[in-house]
Amino acid sequence: MSRIEVGILGATGMVGQHFIKFLDGHPSFHLTWLGASERSAGKRYSEAAKWHLGGSAPADIANRKVEDAKPGNAPKLVFSAMDASVATEIERAFAAAGHVVVSNSRNHRMEGDVPLLVPEINPDHLKLVPRQQRERGWKGMIVTNPNCSTIVLTMGLAPIMQFGVTRIIATTLQAISGAGYPGVPSMDIMGNVIPFIGNEEEKMQEETQKILGAYTENGVEPLAAGVSAHCNRVPVVDGHTVTVSVEFLTKPTHADLRHAFENFRGLPQERELPSAPKLPVQYMTEPDRPQPRKDAERDRGMAAFVGRLRPCPVFDWKFVALGHNTVRGAAGAAVLNAELMQSEGLLG
Ligand SMILES: NC(=O)c1ccc[n+]([C@@H]2O[C@H](COP(=O)([O-])OP(=O)(O)OC[C@H]3O[C@@H](n4cnc5c(N)ncnc54)[C@H](OP(=O)(O)O)[C@@H]3O)[C@@H](O)[C@H]2O)c1
């Protein structure tokens, strides 16, 4: 099968590097275009970017020239990992020019005609795309993936939504890689916890309600359940942990919930998309798991891990969820979105 050419907007940044790593050897996407700011355009990738991940950039990428982030010579499908201060206008310009923009930036996530997609949870939200194209007059489109802590929470909740979730309290322990490079100063985070991440709680609350909301002809009807998030930065390198308490309308048993976690599958699994983990949510029975250092990298970082399901004396049940913030919370999420879109015929 011939591979589709793809590009990355913001290829020199931290998330851009995760895209490069994740796309290396991809069976259906071939990375041929690297876009960044004017500061980098015209340079070879190895001169423009300081590689922050383990190993080194693939040789063909290291030698490739970085382009200006302007539509025209880029492939139709572009992944976006641009700085949020510039992503709004540039992503719109690409979509208007006919590009399919699969974005990791926060800028368009909450717009009513833009899918905030988790392929296992809300693939039907892709039905927003025709409206987006009609109303904005775009030949292309923008599809987004959630914030790195939201995706862990929503994957943990998705299997048990069937029991009528009414209220959720979620507390995060977020890895430092989620703040990009150089991120939080080492003097602030070593041996410490920072109980504030700007706008993170608001994002987690509203994105969760959109993702778990229902698609209607008039757009997405947000989930009615109340969501309260507490977000904390902790001295962990990779992997966001979220502790969750949930109140239900029906009163599921421990066995009901565990069965739901263990049997959760989505369209990516049914269609065997290349980046889909076999089990998107994996229930761990050990009393002290999941843990970021031991579990976040499993299944290429594409699954969510759930454990410690036990009664909550205030709500009904509580549990722990874990996911890899720069893979399932960033580059891997966007690549899986594009794989779903390809399987839906949206890439032409
Ligand atoms: N870090 C994470 O774990 C994470 C997780 C989820 C989402 N995100 C989101 O992903 C995006 C990228 O984050 P990051 O941590 O990778 O940031 P970053 O390391 O600062 O990289 C930003 C990228 O944007 C490019 N850029 C800046 N100004 C530009 C312009 N005027 N035109 C075109 N490109 C421009 C930069 O290119 P130059 O090198 O040429 O300046 C660089 O490639 C952000 O929107 C962030 O909120 C990050």
Q: Both 94 and 191 in a single domain?
A: no
> Confidence band (pLDDT; 50, 70, 90) for 1?
low
List pLDDT tens digits, range 127-165: 999 999 999 999 999 999 999 999 999 999 999 999 999
Averaged pLDDT, 152-180? 97
pLDDT confidence band for 168 (50 / 70 / 90): very high
Query: 314 and 220, same structural domain?
Result: yes
Active site includes 231? no
Nearest CA to ligand 1 atom 15: 180
Residue with tokens 């070879």: 44
- Residue 153 and residue 143 share a domain: no
For residue 258, being part of any structural domain is answered with yes
- Please identify which of the residues 18, 99, 148, 231 carries the catalytic annotation: 148
In a domain, 212, yes or no: yes
Residue 72 predicted with pLDDT over 90: no
148 counts as catalytic: yes
Looking at the fold, whether 249 and 112 belong to one and the same domain comes out as no
Selecting among 240, 254, 259, 312, the annotated active-site residue is 240
286 lies in the same domain as 198: yes
262 in the same domain as 337: no
Instruction: For residue 32, name the pLDDT band (cuts at 50, 70, 90).
Output: very high
Domain match, 143 and 272 both: no
Residue 70 lies in a domain: yes
The domain in which residue 24 lies consists of: 4-147+331-343
If asked whether residues 92 and 200 sit together in one domain, one would say no
| Contact (CB, 8 A) for 295 and 322 | yes
Amino acid at site 59: A
Q: Which residues contact 307 (CB under 8 A, 6 or more apart)?
A: 283, 284, 285, 286, 289, 290, 319, 320
Domain count, the chain: 2
Backbone angles phi, psi at 340, to 5 degrees: -65, -45
Asked if residue 156 and residue 135 are part of one domain, the reply reads no
DSSP per residue, 245-304: EEEESS---HHHHHHHHHT---HHHHTT-TT--SSSEEEE-STT---HHHHTTGGGGTSE
CA atoms of 166 and 168, how far apart (whole Å)? 7
Q: In the structure, which protein residues have their CB atom closer than 6 angstroms to any atom of ligand 1? A: 10-16, 36-37, 39-40, 69, 81-84, 86-87, 90, 104-106, 148, 177-178, 180-181, 325-326, 329-330
Q: CA 167, CA 187: separation in Å to the nearest integer?
A: 37
pLDDT of residue 155: 98
Provide the token pair at 28.
């259906």
Which two structure tokens, joined as six digits, stand for 196? 């504030």
pLDDT for position 10: 98
C-alpha of residue 83 to centroid of ligand 1, in Å? 4
- Choosing from 33, 82, 152 the residue with most ligand 1 atoms within 8 A of its CB, the one to mutate for a pocket test is 82
- The mean per-residue pLDDT over the stretch 57-84 comes to 96
b/e per residue 97-108 (b: at least 16 CB within 10 A): bebbbbbbbbbb
Q: How far apart are CA 275 and CA 328, in angstroms?
A: 10
